[in-house]
Amino acid sequence: MLLRALTALLGAGLSFGSCSSTEPQPYQLVWEDDFVGAAGAAPDASNWGYDIGTDWGNAQLEWTTDRRENSALDGNGNLVITARQESFNGRNYTSARLTTAGKREFTYGRFEARIKNPIGQGIWPAFWLLGANIAEVGWPRTGEIDIMEYRGQEPTINHGSLHGPGYSAGNAITRRYTSPVPLNDDFHVFAVEWDPGEIRWYVDDQIYHLVKRGDQRGDWVFNHDFYIILNIAVGGGFVGPVGPSTTFPQQLIVDYVRVYQRPQ
């Protein structure tokens, strides 16, 4: 009976070709911030909030603020995050840590930013994703995807990393990308493509790291909403102390942040 029904449908010209395709649908832009606004203005509050405080579990030396001295638009379509050497709330450095938590959160997609990095021993900029359920499950079970993580003393090297339960901090799944030019000399595009069961890392559209579900040493926790973070840390375990030749202020300049997703 079923065979006769299928034969009749096919005879009527009904095509099932789209159902048999295994090719993923192309990504489509779903959100972006191009940081258009007057020089000195705050970034769009509907997109960005601030983590205010210090340390963040990494022995960092700065106090992150929501002051315009530490994060502002430059009037030329860029967000500028500025690390400064100054006494503030018992710390000797200030900076900013901007986040889309509670405002723009996504499950899966291509996340990219066009960034010009700072430089100097002890300067630690990053563009990364953190699980939106961190308050409920904690870190690292919430999951973390580091898209651009960079030591200011190694200006040609970007680190792409995946953190989760059983593979976090010094045991994260990490790969380094060595650029033919310093990453502080001009803008470069840093991206990940996060699909169910697979995450890929890119610098200037060159893939250099791929992790598939099952490659990790613990649970795969990359199946829920994540939010975006942009920040500069000063000091901390990843970069070590501030070097004697490091000058301030140091700036992370972001031309845009974009998120693409595949059609449902």
Catalytic residue among 149, 154, 193, 198: 149
Q: What value does the CA radius of gyration of the chain take, rounded to a whole number of Å?
A: 21
CB 58 within 8 Å of CB 170:
no
- Interatomic CA distance for residues 204 and 95, integer angstroms: 26
Catalytic residue among 62, 112, 144, 193: 144
Question: Is 144 annotated in the active site?
Answer: yes
Helix (H) / strand (E) element for 21: namely: none
CB 159 within 8 Å of CB 174:
yes
The set of residues, in sequence order, having a beta carbon less than 8 Å from that of 247 and lying 6+ positions away, is 120
Question: Is 86 annotated in the active site?
Answer: no
The set of residues, in sequence order, having a beta carbon less than 8 Å from that of 180 and lying 6+ positions away, is 156
Residues that are catalytic: 144, 149
